[in-house]
Chains A and B, each alone.
Chain A
Amino acid sequence: MRTLSYVEAIRAALAQAMRADPRVIVLGEDVAEGGPYLATEGLAQEFGRERVRNTPISESAVCGVAVGAAQAGLRPVVEIMFIDFITLALDQLVNQAAKAHFMSGGQLSAPLVLRTQGGTGGRAAAQHSQSLEAWLTHVPGLKVAMPSCATDAAGLLLSAIADPGPVVVVENKALYYRREQVPNALEPIPLGVARRLREGRDVTIVATSRLVDGALEAAEQLAAEGVEAEVLDPRTLQPLDLEPLAQSVKRTGRAVVAHEAVRIGGFGAELAAQLQAAAFDYLEAPIHRVGAPFTPVPASAGLEDAYRPGANEIVRAARSALQWEGCEELGAVAAAGGGGW
């Protein structure tokens, strides 16, 4: 094992993939300079500026170039600096990349990776802090990974680069510089395989990205109250490894799903729907959802902190699920899972 930060693990995985396969190229704004978070630092020095290509601030064209290059045989890894800017690239991602294989009757494929990052905590306000992954999971043909730790960030990225179709890897800016133990040899982690981080028999917490840490912290707090929480991270949202999540819910009878995105229309809604269908007869309480309030991300520091869902919201939702005695109060489930607002 060695100590790496999340962003260093991403950089190491990119370099490893570029060494192994000359078809892998990296393109995006400022990537040859390392980018604002230094995810691509040093790659241009090792692989040259033809393979590590700076681009203009043209998200649509850059994403489209990646699609066309992928269809022509390259393995582009395109960086969209903030997931907020993916709005500008969605035509190319949704209408072109996601549908190329299907619409061509299997003749074309677009094996590209779109790396981007989301999340709050950077005091970066409403256009640089969003969690928009649910949009992408709604598009047949796209795969979506959301690593919650350095090892997964590297391993999922390696699998994404090797995948025959388009994969979006949504990183989290708040995790970038946390130092973690990572295996000496980075290995691909298959897309569509969930991970159980903590065992417990009383309540299942399914969390993504930064909220996985929140779930583990919540499980510690709940343990002090004598509650054993099980924590699972799906790691990829599309394809979703439902089986281990459903099995856990069948054992515990209670579930909390937690993410950083606004709760309404978030991926937690899909998780809750799939889990209730798979484990309906075992549920002792409604599935509780934890997410951010339904407002844009505020700039003011104290307000952003209050806005961000985390361990406290998960604990509150878990307690509500554990103490559930029937749906007497309309909105009780929603209130239990809301943010600090």
Chain B
Amino acid sequence: MTGAGSAAVRRARAGKPRPPAIPPDTAVALLRTIWRIRCFEERIAQLHKSLQIQGLVHLSIGGEGVAATVCGQLRDDDAVYSGHRAHGHALAKGAPMAQTLAELMGRSGGLCRGLGGSMHLVDATRGLMGATGVVGGNLPLAAGDALAKRLAGSDAVTVVFFGDGAVQAGHFHETVNLAALWELPLIFVCENNGMAEFTSRAEHTTVASVADVVSPYGFARATVDGSDVAAVHDKFAAYLEQARMGEGPFLLECLTHRRRGHYEGDQQQYRDEQAEAQWSAKDPLARWQERGRAEGWLSAAQAQQLERDATAEVEQALAYARQSPPPTAAQAAALVYAAAPDGAPPR
């Protein structure tokens, strides 16, 4: 974990080549997670095209660095609330790939028995407390989770992911106000890809940066390059350390790039050709690998192996999902109401 002190050191060294701030093992682990998300989602795009995955599917290709870096620093008892673009957060938080893919395919062996789907991934044992398809609807839930953690006297923290599109919704402002008022151990992580569905941020608001939106509340906030894994890692680490000590909330705005459409099947008539041409400069995977080679913590052979491992894991996950039957109507009907703790059906 990197505290505020080392950030000052880094600032002092600005302009000079700096040593890797992240231990090599951690750096490789982050790359492995990024590869897992990338291979998983590229396969999902194919499976969606061939209708083996149906419905609304939102891919995070181009933004995997944030998911890997943030979730990679969390414990199982730290909660993550995510939104509709949740696959990367789920995998990075520890949700098994096989069950995650089975969920996307609507199978009973899925994380949520095939009843939730792509936008509602939950793995409570890993602290993935829920994704929501209502933009920003997860924000107050995360505040409630953080309140429970504080009342319990725990040092666990809550992280909520959302896009810049959620910031214009009323529940964002209500939640930010409450979190600041109650000093909740909650870290807001905004993945700002500059697009709210099909429309650019500039058409939705006159406020340039999400960090600026919360400035009157006075809590710590920062905007970082979301495709720079080290930048996200260090800033989030600093906030996480403070949140564990009972401080909060915090807001980390990560500027990311959405490589795919809003959803699979989106015709993307809005797509900016110029932005597309800059893709290699925005790809967190390419950048982190390049950096690994430059800093010497990654060989070409290692990089190839990470990709092969991720590809193999995806195919194993697919084999698992394909053999899993869909849920039955009886299984679904039994889950409308929670059972009382003694197992008796509640009246």
Closest to B119 in A: A103
Chain B residues whose CB sits within 8 angstroms of the CB of A95 once the complex forms:
132-134, 137
Q: Looking at the complex, which one of A64, A70, A74, A109 makes contact with B171 (CB distance below 8 Å)? A: A64
Q: Which of A55-63, A119-127, A296-304 contacts B (4 or more CB under 8 A)?
A: A55-63
Contacts of A193 in B (CB 8 A): 347
Taking the complex as formed, is B336 at the interface, i.e. its CB lies under 8 A from any CB of chain A?
Answer: yes
**Chain A contacts with B in 60-103, Cβ cutoff 8 A:** 60-74, 76, 91-92, 95-96, 100-103
Q: Which of B81, B115, B171 contacts A60 (CB 8 A)?
A: B171
Rounded to whole Å, the gap between the CB of A57 and the closest CB of chain B is 9
Q: Within 8 Å CB of A61, what residues of B?
A: 139-140, 143, 171, 174-175, 177-178
Total A-B pairs, Cβ < 8 A: 158
Taken residue by residue from 129 to 170, chain B's Cβ proximity to chain A (1 for < 8 Å, 0 otherwise) reads as 110111001011111111111011000000000000000001
- Chain B interface bracket (under 10, 10 to 19, 20 to 34, 35 or more): 35 or more
A249 interface contact, C-beta 8 A: no
* Residue of A72, A109, A192 with highest tally of chain B CB at under 10 A: A72
A36: CB under 8 A from chain B?
no
CB distance from A326 to the nearest CB of B (A): 40
Given contacts A164-B346, A239-B347, contact A64 B137 (CB under 8 A): yes
- Which of B118-132 touch A at CB < 8 Å? 120, 122-124, 129-130, 132
In the complex, A165 has a CB within 8 A of chain B: yes
Q: Which residue among B111, B144, B178 has the maximum number of chain A CB atoms within 10 Å of its CB?
A: B144
In angstroms, Cα B151 to Cα A50, docked, is 8
Residues of B within 8 A of A335 (CB): none
Whether B336 and A102, one on each chain, are in contact in the complex, defined by CB atoms closer than 8 angstroms, is yes
A231: chain B residues at CB < 8 Å are none
Interface contact A106-B335, CB-CB below 8 Å: yes
Label chain B's interface by main secondary structure: mixed
Assess whether A107 is interfacial by the CB under 8 Å rule.
Answer: yes
Provide a sorted-by-A list of 13 A–B residue pairs whose CB atoms are within 8 angstroms.
Answer: A25-B151, A61-B140, A64-B144, A68-B141, A69-B145, A73-B148, A74-B148, A74-B151, A92-B137, A92-B141, A111-B338, A163-B340, A163-B346
Residue of B nearest to A191 (CB): B347
Interface, chain B (partner A; CB < 8 A): 79, 81, 110-116, 120, 122-124, 129-130, 132-134, 137, 139-149, 151-152, 170-171, 174-175, 177-178, 181, 332, 335-341, 346-347
The answer to whether B112 touches A71, judged by C-beta atoms less than 8 angstroms apart, is no
Give the complex CA separation of A111 and B337 in angstroms: 10
Question: How close is B310's CB to chain A, nearest CB, in angstroms?
Answer: 26
* Complex contact B116–A104 (CB within 8 A): yes
Contacts of B145 in A (CB 8 A): 68-69, 71-72
Q: Are B148 and A91 in contact (CB under 8 A)?
A: no
A59 to chain B: closest CB distance in Å? 8
Could you tell me the distance between the alpha carbons of A56 and B180 in the complex, rounded to whole angstroms? 12
Q: By the criterion CB–CB under 8 Å, are A58 and B177 in contact?
A: yes
A51 CB to nearest B CB, Å? 8
A42 to B147, CA, bound (A): 23
CB distance from B131 to the nearest CB of A (A): 9
Using CB atoms, name the residue of chain B closest to A167.
B346
Are the C-beta atoms of A68 and B140 separated by less than 8 Å?
yes
Chain B nearest CB: distance from A287 CB in Å? Answer: 25
Q: Is A105 an interface residue (CB 8 A)?
A: yes
Residues of A contacting B151 in the complex (Cβ-Cβ under 8 angstroms):
25, 50-51, 74
* Contact indicator B140/A55 (Cβ below 8 Å): no
Residue among B122, B141, B336 making CB contact with A104, cutoff 8 Å: B122
